[in-house]
Each structure stands twice: as structure tokens, then as C-alpha cells.
Amino acid sequence: MSATAETVPVFSEGSDRAENAGPAISPERYADILGGLELQTLEVDEVIASVDRFLIASLQAPPRVTVKTESECSVDDVLDVRATCTVAGVVGRRKCFRIAVTYRVRFSYSETPDEPFFDVFKALSLPMIVWPFFREAVHSLTLQMGLPPLTLPLQKAFAEG
């Protein structure tokens, strides 16, 4: 139920990247960098929630639920990540509700992460880190918005590409 903002080649086969559409990283290199990360903070930066009560009142069936995750990473003295998770209830082309939560996640590192690492980290690891927090926020906020509480599914693994 999660989507990333972009599709990236996840892991390269050996050192030959000629057939990949973008930068890639070997599973071993990714594991080395990931193993050196230590979570420092995970904080909410922003919450945006809206509901169209007129549309909700006229619904004959539950809306289609969409989920999207976007993120950006930067490296200074820490790995600083901003991840925005958005869930929306959609009827036709209209949104009957929308919740967006932006998290700021900071890590210390022993080896400086690079772009190929970021591509895989944003697609695989970051969603697994923020998903439980987003899942709880959506459940709580939908209830506070006067909607039936929405429980998003557990994320057990993310498929490649």
C-alpha cells in the first residue's frame, strides 16, 4: 500500500551498471553503510489534514485509499532525512479526506552515505522506519476528524523497483 515517488534500480549486479537506468549499489556495500547508521531523532515536522464533509456525507461506498511516500536526504555532520507520507480517500477525482505527515529523521554515520545508497535507502529502509509512526497518526487523526478510524496495513517488505 506504499508507493515511493520514484522507481530506482535497487541493487547493481557486480560493478557493471551500463544497463541500469541510474546509480545502483551492491547489496554488500549497502549493508556496510546501513550498518554504520545510528538513529538520533525521529520527529514530526508538519501535519496537514483535511476532510470534505459534504462529500463524505454523500458516499454510498467507502472511498479508494491511496498512500504515497516522498523523501529527500542530505548529509552534513549527520544524515538528515525528510519523509512525507500522504494518505487520501478518493472518490472519482475528488479527495474526501487527506492526511500528510512530514517526519524529520536524523542519523549519525560511520561511513558517509552517497547517492546510490540514498536511492535504495529511500525506497527500502526509510519507509520501514517511518511507517509505524504514520500508521498510528492516520488511525488517530481519522478518528479525530470524525471519520471511522483508518488502520493502514502492516508493512512487512517492499518489492524491488
pLDDT digits (tens, 9 = 90+) for 103-139: 999 999 999 999 999 999 998 899 999 999 999 999 9
The grid cell for 154 is 502492516
CA atoms 92, 95, 99, 100: torsion sign: positive
Whole-angstrom Cα distance, residue 155 to residue 72?
Answer: 21
pLDDT digits 0-9 by tens, 51-98: 999 999 999 999 999 999 999 999 999 999 999 999 999 999 999 999
| Comparison of pLDDT for 38 and 124, the residue scoring more | 38
159: left (phi over 0), alpha (psi -120 to 50) or beta: beta
DSSP string computed for 65-101: EEEEEEEEEEESSSEEEEEEEEEEEEETTEEEEEEEE
**pTM of the shown model:** 0.81
CA angle 12, 15, 20 (to 5 degrees): 45
159 pLDDT higher than 80: no
The predicted structure's pLDDT at residue 23: 58
CATH superfamily to which 27-144 belongs: SecB-like (3.10.420.10)
| Comparison of pLDDT for 27 and 161, the residue scoring more | 27
